[in-house]
């Protein structure tokens, strides 16, 4: 049986790719670091992979706003990825890109933490009942993995409410209560299940992504 292939997207400024690759290796997957520009240009096909992972960092230095440039550049690749219905997990800056690209629909934004500062701390997350494939079978559990962001408070700017899969079970790093949302096979969260790369709680989430393929 072939190993399932995971595409770990890399943009200029991404800085969480190493631990992400190691996490997938621990689960027996075949992860590959793929330059996002290769998906954008068509040099790589999104369908060549079973799972896609958008990691954290500061794409293009967040010069035009967190994730804004990457969201604009990847718009066509994102539409192709939507059509595949493959599992996609977006963490931290990856989530910021997804929200900017309206992956979860319009009417959502990630704004500055209530503290006004970058927050790096261990955080507890409660899995709530939902249809999110990434948290399947984990309902009611409290999972521990860290935050590391400044613009991570999810706010609703339209009439549509987000599909929530995770809420903060301890002190919120950004002042909000929502920790993770989903839309179809896409799952976004500001915190880092892959830190450290052998974090058993985070691996439960990643393993669900593999099982869904």
pLDDT tens column, 77-128: 888 899 999 999 999 999 999 999 999 999 999 999 999 999 999 999 999 9
> What does the pLDDT read at residue 20?
97
Partnered with residue 189 across adjacent β-strands are 91, 180
CA-CA distance, 206 to 95, in Å (whole number)? 16
Give me the percent of the chain exceeding a pLDDT of 70.
99
What's the CATH number for 5-211? Answer: 3.40.50.880
Considering only CA atoms, give the Rg of the chain: 16
Decide if pLDDT at 74 tops 90.
no
Q: Which helix (H) or strand (E) holds 123?
A: strand 119-127
Decide if pLDDT at 64 tops 80.
no
Whole-angstrom CA distances from 16 to 28, 94, 133 are: 19, 10, 23
Three-state secondary structure call for residue 1: coil
> What does the pLDDT read at residue 78?
87
Beta strands in the chain (DSSP E): 5-10, 30-35, 51-54, 88-91, 108-112, 119-127, 142-149, 151-156, 163-168, 178-183, 186-189
């Amino acid at each position: 049986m072939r190993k399932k292939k995971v595409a770990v997207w890399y943009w200029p400024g991404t800085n969480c790719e190493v631990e992400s690759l190691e996490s997938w290796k621990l689960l027996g997957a075949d992860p590959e670091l793929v330059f996002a520009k290769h998906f954008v240009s068509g040099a790589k096909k999104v369908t060549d992979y079973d799972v896609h992972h958008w990691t954290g960092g500061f794409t293009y230095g967040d010069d035009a706003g967190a994730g804004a440039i990457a969201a604009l550049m990847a718009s066509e690749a994102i539409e192709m990825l939507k059509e595949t219905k493959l599992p996609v997990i977006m963490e931290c800056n990856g989530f910021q890109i997804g929200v900017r690209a309206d992956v979860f629909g319009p009417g959502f934004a990630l704004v500055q933490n209530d503290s006004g500062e970058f927050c790096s701390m261990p955080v507890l997350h409660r899995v709530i009942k939902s249809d999110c494939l990434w948290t399947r079978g984990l309902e009611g559990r409290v999972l521990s993995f860290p935050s590391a962001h400044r613009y991570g408070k999810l706010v609703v700017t339209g009439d549509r409410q987000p599909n929530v899969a995770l809420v903060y079970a301890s002190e919120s790093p950004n002042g909000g209560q929502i920790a993770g949302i989903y839309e179809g096979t896409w799952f976004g969260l500001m915190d880092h299940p892959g830190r450290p790369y052998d974090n058993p709680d985070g691996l439960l989430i990643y393993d669900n992504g593999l099982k869904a393929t």
